[in-house]
Chain A
């Protein structure tokens, strides 16, 4: 019985859950569990923080999502909206902690967050192979955050251009140019880092 109830909840769409929240706040747990893993990885990928720090940030994200629930426009993807809030929280975290240089200095963060590159994703086919994931992670750490986030969203979070546009609040054309320039810069960093590994 419990399984059936749980499955029913899992089958609900994000919007249906959002609508049910008005009557049953506990339904929010379904939404949290649906997004916590992917947002956790996303946060760690863009901020290079520890699991503990990422959990704290994640809690803040879900509180903000709840607080701002009524600003969600069902015409657009819920996942883009929740990623937008995660992005904003990450930016706030960077500002408050003044850790803009964090990515270059933190060495304790594991690279496993970049281990799950789907095989059909090809950032730059000619030089990114599975055995160079470490090089990718290192290069991403050193990449300017404006390129890093857009590349992570496109190639690791597998978001479409219009979704990235909604998450970062930049025009689709800018997304495309950031991706292109980011790839160029990543390539240079990877070649440099690759020689040092």
Chain B
């Protein structure tokens, strides 16, 4: 018996080293696959909420009427969810790579497959209304979630650029104007005589609305288009309140 084998066997016997059970390795591998699955599911939820939030900002109608459509698109991107979706993709790849045979696949193929899965599942989830369900769940259970994650707050809080949102606090019978408390708690007198009022936008005290228009003077806003706060994109007419 060689020196190394003697030493190794001596150490194994002395320290009573035992082989790790096969079950442990199976569990480890299953755990990695589970994490991979979870990351794909979470990524899909993230992507569906990205779609949901993009749609809910209602910017598509106005892209052609603003000076900088790219800026508007960038502002409307829900960065938190984009970040979480990308993070899920990265974690998914790492988990997959660490499964027993995951190393055999090229990075780009695995990553593209992950992206494709997340896009397909996320779009499907959004189409069946899952994104609304999840977003509502997060809104109700995570403090400050809305302010941090909801890109409407960024898009519709720029009165100087024609995007205003807020709660109706007073309605003037004469002259079709109302007092709106903006997302920043500033008061704006909104003139809406010429405005298009979407069917689900109720002009009632306490209602939160989105207003596309023009800042005519300080704290005075002329509305062109009034939408409900919770309306979203092309579904705005159908959405149930």
Give residues in A with beta carbon < 8 Å to B: 21, 25-26, 28-29, 32-33, 36, 55, 58-59, 62-63, 66-71, 73, 165, 169-174
CA distance A29 to B1 in the complex (A): 7
CA distance A174 to B103 in the complex (A): 11
Question: Number of B residues contacting the other chain (C-beta, 8 Å)?
Answer: 24
Contact A71 B5 (CB under 8 A): no
Contact A174 B106 (CB under 8 A): yes
CA distance A71 to B99 in the complex (A): 12
Q: Does B20 contact A (CB under 8 A)?
A: yes
**Contact A70/B103 with A28-B5, A58-B4, A63-B8 known, Cβ cut-off 8 Å:** no
**Contact A66/B103 with A33-B1, A71-B20 known, Cβ cut-off 8 Å:** no
Q: Does B71 contact A (CB under 8 A)?
A: no
Contact B13 A171 (CB under 8 A): no
Contacting B12 at CB < 8 Å: which of A66, A70, A170, A173? A66
Q: Which residue on B lies nearest to A169, using beta carbons?
A: B103
CA distance A73 to B99 in the complex (A): 13
CA distance A66 to B19 in the complex (A): 6
Contact B104 A172 (CB under 8 A): yes
Contact A28 B8 (CB under 8 A): yes
Say whether chain A's binding surface is mostly helix, strand, loop, or mixed. Answer: helix
Q: Which residues of A contact B30 (CB under 8 A)?
A: none
B130 to chain A, nearest CB (A): 35
CA distance A59 to B14 in the complex (A): 14
**Contact A70/B22 with A36-B4, A170-B103 known, Cβ cut-off 8 Å:** yes
B199 to chain A, nearest CB (A): 56
Q: Which residues of B contact A73 (CB under 8 A)?
A: 100
Contact B12 A63 (CB under 8 A): yes
Q: Which residues of B contact A58 (CB under 8 A)?
A: 4
CA distance A25 to B6 in the complex (A): 12
Contact A32 B103 (CB under 8 A): no
CA distance A58 to B6 in the complex (A): 13
Q: Which residue on A lies nearest to B110, using beta carbons?
A: A171
**Contact A70/B21 with A165-B103, A172-B104 known, Cβ cut-off 8 Å:** yes
CA distance A19 to B2 in the complex (A): 22
Contact A171 B1 (CB under 8 A): no
B196 to chain A, nearest CB (A): 57
Contact B105 A66 (CB under 8 A): no
A58 to chain B, nearest CB (A): 6
CA distance A165 to B4 in the complex (A): 28
Chain B 52-72 near chain A by CB (<8 Å), digits 1 or 0: 000000000000000000000
